[in-house]
Structure 1
Amino acid sequence: MSDADLPAALEGRVTVVPADAAGPRPLVLVLPGGGYRRTADHEAEPVAQWLAGLGLHAVVLRYPVAPEGATAPLHPAPLDAAAAAVRWVRAGGTGLDVDPARVAVLGFSAGGHLAATLSTVDDDAARPDATVLCYPVVSFGADAHEGSVKALLGPGAGEDERAVLSAELRVTSATPPAFVWHTADDATVPVSNAVRYAQALWGAGVPAELHVYPSGRHGLGLADEEPHVAAWTHACAAWFAHLGWRRAQA
């Protein structure tokens, strides 16, 4: 990969982490959280390294965010960057041997909102083939994370604007299958966000796997500090195996 291969929207924003595996491999686009104000380091490259260990190529996208105190709407810059990243990956921009029909997106918190929004776009070339959502922001209506709403839409966003970016309202039968996890006592982003997205998928006839762990703070990432919650990585690996994206481990 060279910077010349990158669309302008992705310059200086992507880190490619290849899997040590032969043949065309699936790739996962990693979207860290941070309330659309930053992109959290612990939800970025360490997650990509974990995915590479599963035999999945990974790309971390540091999508555009709004600086603290900014009031101008950020949307649609993050979505445009994420869509460009999926198209770039499918076009062979990473220089890796990627299966263009097996490109997933994995997002944490606000990055989960971006992943869910990307998963519900009408553009077949930009919509991923599978989705992983980790304690995601989903709804900009009920139980919304207002910090993400203000960063993305600016203060005073109306109901119509919020509805357009409420991913649970955008789900159709074309939305990709999803693995979703959250903690029941998340005090920052209510677990209802994850539940609503899974319910929307089930209602549309799209497979979804939902894991709700009893306890754990928001922003755990790989959750090394919480062994019970860290089981999400094993469950997610098994889900990828179920999709046929990796071999099931004995």
Structure 2
Amino acid sequence: MDEKTAKEQELGYIEQRKVIKVSVNKQLPCGKVLEIIKASDVAPHDLISAQPYLILIFPGGGYEFTSYRESLNVALAFAKRGIDAAVLHYTTENGKTILASGKGLLYKPLQEAAEAMIALRTDEDLGFTKHKIVVSGYSAGAHLAASVCNLYKHEALKELTYEAQKVRPDGAVLGYGVFEIQTKGHTSDLVFENLSGSTDPTKWEQFTLTDKVSSDTPPSFIWHTADDAVVPVENSLHYAQAMWQHGGIAELTIFPQGIHGLATATPDVEPDNSFKYADPHVAPWVDQAVDFIKTYVS
């Protein structure tokens, strides 16, 4: 991440936190903090269903940063629709630093995500122990969300004291995610480089996800835009196909057009009012996802 991007992210979060109120901050054993927005604080009572849900959001950013565009604003959108929401700012690192050291992030983000799942499922003070928990991510965040869905039994998590089912999500919402290796040199390679610490594609395969899908992969709502120039739409198409081939429940929506990083595709994605991320044709994906959750996550 260059200096310009770092400054943009810092300012974006400052502006975002001026207008979005967090209900609860929960520190995890790893030191990371869950920012939680309760639906009861922002949504009409009749939108909160008898079966409560919580969506755990992982912002994107290539594992170099966690993007403010896919953070509290996404959480608020779901909370306003009756679904409690939490954001995890997992560990990231500058890609140049990672490649220079040869030390990738490996499974550290997954471990932190697992800690978040365990806390939400077991901490009675938080009040979500009876909730169905859906993981959601965008770009690299979708990679992390899908990792939790498919690698919740991974040996990298054995050091955590947990039952595997405490980590397995009940469902997933995955936006323009990175799930497989493209032709070497593609922009989305950054995800695998930063996790593995290497430019060698043979060392990336442990982090690919389309080939890790099984009949136990949770129901997933998947969306992408056909002309995404950063993460090819084939990632979502192949991931959904893998789920169908294993008998899983997957809903795939591919919009004809839309730049990478749309998040909610509403004007609030960009606090400086540039509106380049506002796309009224794509924005209904949030309502589609909520309908999917309430229909298929049970």
Q: Secondary structure at the match of 1:88?
A: helix
Contact 2:34 2:86 in 1 (8 A): yes
Deviations along 1:187-240, one digit per CA (max 9) or x if unpaired, are 000000001110110011001000000000000010011100112112112212
**Higher deviation after alignment, 195-204 or 134-143:** 134-143
Q: Please state how far the C-alpha of 1:163 moved relative to its aligned partner.
A: 2.0
Residue 148 of structure 2 corresponds to residue 118 of structure 1: yes
Distance in 1 between the 2:247 and 2:51 partners?
29
> Number of aligned pairs?
241
Contact 1:13 1:61 in 2 (8 A): yes
Q: Please state how far the C-alpha of 1:95 moved relative to its aligned partner.
A: 1.4
1:79-228 alignment, distance < 5 Å: 79-92=110-123, 95-100=126-131, 102-121=132-151, 122=153, 123-140=164-181, 145-159=188-202, 161-224=203-266, 225-228=278-281
Contact 1:79 1:114 in 2 (8 A): yes
Q: Please state how far the C-alpha of 1:155 moved relative to its aligned partner.
A: 2.3
Distance in 2 between the 1:107 and 1:22 partners?
23
Match of 1:17 among 26, 37, 57: 37
Which residue identity does 1:7 align to in structure 2?
A: L
Distance in 1 between the 2:24 and 2:223 partners?
35
Match of 1:35 among 30, 37, 62: 62
Please report the RMSD computed on the Cα atoms of aligned residues, expressed in angstroms: 2.2
Q: Please state how far the C-alpha of 1:58 moved relative to its aligned partner.
A: 1.0
Contact 1:25 1:98 in 2 (8 A): no
Q: Secondary structure at the match of 1:211?
A: strand
Distance in 2 between the 1:94 and 1:118 partners?
24
Contact 1:110 1:136 in 2 (8 A): yes
Deviations along 1:82-119, one digit per CA (max 9) or x if unpaired, are 1111011000266124424x111000000000111110
Cα distance change of structure 1 residues 94 and 155 upon mapping to structure 2, 3 Å threshold: farther
Distance in 1 between the 2:297 and 2:114 partners?
24
Distance in 1 between the 2:49 and 2:292 partners?
21
Distance in 2 between the 1:138 and 1:244 partners?
22
Structure 1 moving runs of 4+ over 3 Å: 21-24, 140-144
Contact 1:216 1:226 in 2 (8 A): yes
Q: Please state how far the C-alpha of 1:140 moved relative to its aligned partner.
A: 3.2
Q: In structure 1, list runs of 5 or more residues that go unmatched.
A: 246-250
Match of 2:290 among 203, 228, 237: 237
Distance in 1 between the 2:263 and 2:222 partners?
13
Higher helix share: 2
Distance in 2 between the 1:216 and 1:158 partners?
29
Cα distance change of structure 1 residues 201 and 53 upon mapping to structure 2, 3 Å threshold: same
Residue 87 of structure 2 corresponds to residue 60 of structure 1: yes
Map of 1:248 onto structure 2: none
Distance in 1 between the 2:97 and 2:108 partners?
14
Structure index of larger Rg? 2
Which residue identity does 1:177 align to in structure 2?
A: P
Q: Please state how far the C-alpha of 1:8 moved relative to its aligned partner.
A: 2.2
Contact 1:179 1:239 in 2 (8 A): yes
Normalised by the size of structure 1, how large is the TM-score? 0.89
